[in-house]
Amino acid sequence: MTVSALQAGQPFPDVTTPKWGGGSVELGKPKDGHDWKLVVVYRGKHCPLCTKYLQTLNEVAPTLGEIGVDVVAVSADSAERAADQLAEVQPAYEVGYDLSVEQMRAMGLYISSPRNGMNAERPFAEPGLFVINGDGRVQIVDISNVPFARPDPHKILMGVKFLRNLEGEFPINGSYA
């Protein structure tokens, strides 16, 4: 399988999913006065590393909000499976669920199938992290094919603070054409 990853500087695709707690969430669109967005794609309920990652995201989400960055996490899990995992996480940010294979592909994510002994109900996305800037472009992208190779949310917070303090004076890394 070939993954066609989103490139730095590209517009983030239009992806909307149901939102845990009701309604829907547009993954790449900041809201509530924020002008940037952090999108964290996690594997789902079957992944204990994801639960820990989402709990760590709780630690940085308020500070990200203070600097104008809206935070959302999303998985391919059903509403029921998402609710089970999120009861343990108690997220301080919005969470989407029911991510489709087409939406995963649009974001350039690695996709895995449930395997013997794995408590997953359907194909799921491997981890992805995207920071979308005020122009709707991918400022930071990190896509992995395993749950243990993803950036520490505290490091993302540090980097985003740095970028936000430059007020648009810093180019999008990796966008040389």
pLDDT tens digits along 111-147: 998 875 567 778 999 999 999 999 999 999 999 999 9
Instruction: Say how far apart CA 138 and CA 11 lie, in whole Å.
Output: 6
By the 8 A CB rule, do 72 and 42 touch?
A: no
pLDDT tens digits along 2-33: 557 789 999 999 999 999 999 999 999 999 99
Instruction: Say how far apart CA 140 and CA 111 lie, in whole Å.
Output: 20
How confident is the model at residue 102, as a pLDDT? 96
pLDDT tens digits along 23-63: 999 999 999 999 999 999 999 999 999 999 999 999 999 99
Number of Cβ atoms within 10 Å of the Cβ of 160: 22
- Rounded to two decimals, what is the model's pTM? 0.94
Instruction: Say how far apart CA 37 and CA 139 lie, in whole Å.
Output: 10
